[in-house]
Amino acid sequence: MKTYIVGNWKMNLTVGESSIYLQKLLKRIRPAKGIEVAVSPSLIAIQPLRMQLDKNNSKVKLVAQNFYHRDYGAFTGEVSVSQLRGLVNYAIVGHSERRYVFGETNKDLKQKVAAAIRNGITPILCIGETENEKNFGETADVLRDQLLGGLSEIDAEDVKKVVIAYEPVWAISSNKGARLAAPDEIAESIKLIRNELKETYGKETADETPVLYGGSVNPNNAGAYLTIPGVNGLLIGGSSLVSDHFIDIIELAKRLRA
Residues whose CB is less than 8 angstroms from the CB of residue 156 and which lie 6 or more positions away in sequence, other chains included: 201, 202, 205
pLDDT for position 176? 60
Catalytic site residue 133? Answer: no
Give dist(CA 223, CA 253) in Å, integer: 7
The whole-number mean pLDDT for each consecutive block of 10 residues of the chain, a chain of 258 residues, reads: 96 98 94 93 97 85 97 96 97 95 95 98 97 95 97 95 96 70 94 97 95 95 96 97 97 92
Q: Sketch out the chain's domains with CATH numbers.
A: 3-257 (3.20.20.70)
Q: Which of 97, 129, 153, 167 is catalytic?
A: 167
Contact 156, 202 (CB under 8 A): yes
Q: Which of 95, 97, 104, 153 is catalytic?
A: 95
Give dist(CA 189, CA 74) in Å, integer: 40
Catalytic site residue 167? Answer: yes
pLDDT for position 179? 79
Contact 194, 206 (CB under 8 A): yes
User: How is residue 230 annotated by DSSP?
Assistant: T
Q: Name the pTM for this structure.
A: 0.96
pLDDT for position 59? 87
